[in-house]
């Protein structure tokens, strides 16, 4: 891409930090949206709870990447935390979309970080972007999340919904919690082990986000998942091989329910999601298989 001025929300998270570093390394000007008064010219104030964005700070931006949202697996799902998960995504997205739409010369592109939770539990059935929404809390949140970006679409901004799978990284996210467990020799398949986990290496995820910024023909939902979804049993086996640890003892479903509560339903669920539109647009994965992704995370 030619150098651009790009604004990013969620820049302190696992994906946001890596994206900002990648863009700046290639000469792009990156503005970070922060939840306090801006201290430098590279910051823009916003408050997703109040649906406020200092729109003047976005003037001149050619793209906005919206990644902010409360972590799905960070806390037990009380009703209060479920409300925080939903509001942080829906209200935050509405604030960004409305700010973008209010500009006399809005950015050409808005990339909204969504999730494959949109599809619900797909079992053994492979789905792509044409699949309808599923059922359950996360599926409902994802639908509202994407719908909240309507003001930007209506203003003529190319809007992409990056439906992300499980990002394989040793430093954060759900996978960051798995590495210490498997290193200790305590890892194994979750529940039956037959459920699919649609993963993506962190390297490929950042490359895919940058591809979405550059691929001017893409809009609407795009799955950011590796082309080879793996079962939980295959995930555990790959982790064991790479870390040279046993990974055969399954974690019983009842134990996960006791620890995770309602969130265990999604952990034990199966999502076999394929990145059809990403592949059709010419994107090439560096780490398509689960073992490739795990090895990449350790580099």
Contact 236, 189 (CB under 8 A): yes
pLDDT at residue 258 in the model: 65
User: pLDDT tens digit string along 83-98?
Assistant: 999 999 999 999 999 9
| Low pLDDT (below 50) residues in the chain | none
User: pLDDT tens digit string along 185-202?
Assistant: 888 888 889 999 999 999
Neighbours of 189 (CB within 10 A): 20
pLDDT at residue 174 in the model: 79
pLDDT at residue 113 in the model: 96
Q: How many CA atoms lie within 13 A of 272 on its CB side?
A: 12
pLDDT at residue 142 in the model: 97
Neighbours of 64 (CB within 10 A): 29
| Closest CA relative to residue 64, chosen from 192, 188, 185, 151 | 151
Alpha helices, H only, 45-159: 79-102, 137-147, 150-154
pLDDT at residue 41 in the model: 92
Per residue in 136-154, is it b (16+ CB within 10 Å) or e — as a string?
A: bbbbbbbbebbebbebbbe
pLDDT at residue 117 in the model: 94
pLDDT at residue 77 in the model: 83
Residues 6+ apart with CB under 8 A from 198: 116, 165, 166, 223, 225, 226, 229, 271, 272, 273
pLDDT at residue 253 in the model: 74
């Amino acid at each position: 891409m030619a150098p651009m001025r790009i604004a990013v929300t969620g820049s302190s998270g696992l994906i946001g930090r890596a994206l900002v570093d990648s863009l700046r390394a290639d000469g792009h000007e990156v503005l970070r949206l922060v939840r306090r008064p801006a201290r430098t010219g590279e910051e823009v104030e916003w408050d997703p709870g109040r649906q406020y964005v200092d729109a003047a700070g976005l003037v001149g931006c050619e793209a906005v990447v919206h990644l902010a949202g409360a972590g799905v697996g960070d806390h037990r799902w009380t009703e209060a935390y479920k409300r925080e998960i939903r509001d942080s995504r829906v209200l935050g997205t509405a604030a960004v979309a409305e700010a973008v739409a209010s500009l006399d010369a809005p950015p050409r592109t808005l990339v909204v970080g969504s999730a494959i939770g949109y599809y619900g539990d797909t079992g053994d059935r492979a789905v792509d972007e044409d699949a309808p929404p599923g059922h359950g809390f996360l599926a409902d949140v994802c639908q509202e999340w994407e719908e909240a970006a309507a003001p930007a679409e209506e203003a003529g901004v190319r809007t992409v919904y990056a439906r992300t799978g499980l990002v394989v990284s040793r430093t954060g996210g759900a996978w960051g919690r798995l590495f210490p467990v498997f290193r200790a020799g305590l890892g194994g398949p979750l529940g039956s082990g037959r459920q699919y986990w649609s993963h993506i290496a962190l390297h490929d995820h950042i490359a895919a986000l940058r591809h979405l910024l550059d691929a001017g023909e893409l809009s609407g939902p795009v799955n950011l998942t590796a082309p080879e979804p793996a079962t939980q049993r295959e995930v555990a086996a790959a982790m064991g091989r790479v870390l040279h640890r046993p990974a055969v003892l399954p974690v019983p479903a009842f134990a996960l329910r006791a620890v995770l509560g309602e969130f265990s339903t999604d952990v034990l669920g199966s999502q076999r999601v394929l990145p059809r539109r990403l592949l059709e647009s010419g994107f090439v994965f560096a780490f398509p298989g689960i073992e490739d992704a795990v090895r990449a995370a350790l580099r």
